[in-house]
Amino acid sequence: MPSTRLNKYIASSGICSRRKADELILSGVVVVNNKKITELGYLVNEKDKVFVENKLIHPVKHLYYRFFKPAGYITTSDDEKGRKTIYDLIPKELWGLKPVGRLDKDSTGLLILTNDGELINELTHPSIKVPKVYIVSVDSLVSPHELEQMAKGIEIEEGKLAYADIQVLEVDKNRTMMKITLYQGMNRQIRKMFEHFGYEVKSLKRVQHATIQLEGLKRGDIKPIKPKQIKELKNFLNRISQDNA
């Protein structure tokens, strides 16, 4: 391994993002070969021993998977209430992977699973505004005025303004089906936005996260994401990060 920046080395171990690694370095909890390092930009190589908070770390091979979460499972590795989790459906050898964001128990669709802490941070950091696309059905006809308000933003919690891009796909008096794009990561955002106007969400499925799509998966399926797709994803994140800077 050629010399690499210490923050990248720490991030490659899967414990955190490069940004968080910088914070760890500055806080004085990183030691290289028995020497405390607080210098950003410090270089290390494969022979160096790197400790973070007294724990020896090593770079790991990054894995990337797509998972089709069914309804009835929560997005966590453990649940104190004994509810079913997505890890009940995932092969044991992949239990070290973490979901990028969450889907609530009743929601379905795409979850990206990875041990790449830096990518998780980039996909979920509020400043980057990564698009997530959902197909959503509610229990009634939604008025155009209410859809306009959701696009402009509504307060679903004190001091929290939620907004969404909404495209109506099908409509009748008993149902409105929509394609909804979010750029925020607020808890149960879509459900709370429709509850604000008195609607009940009947189904909610995530079909895309950034450039990664659900297409080709059946409920409960988990498949590796191709290297070409990861490269496209990272290029996309770099572009929108620069646009939002």
Inter-residue contact 103 to 85 (CB < 8 Å): no
Cβ-based neighbours of 131, under 8 Å, separated by 6 or more: 181, 182, 183, 208, 210
181 bridge partner residues: 133, 165
Catalytic status, residue 104? yes
- CA atoms within a 13 Å half-sphere pointing along the CA-CB vector of 221: 12
Composition of the chain by helix, strand, coil, percent to 5: 25, 30, 40
Q: 22, 78, 79, 104: which one is catalytic?
A: 104
Locate 82 and state its tokens: 């004994």
The residues that are catalytic are 104
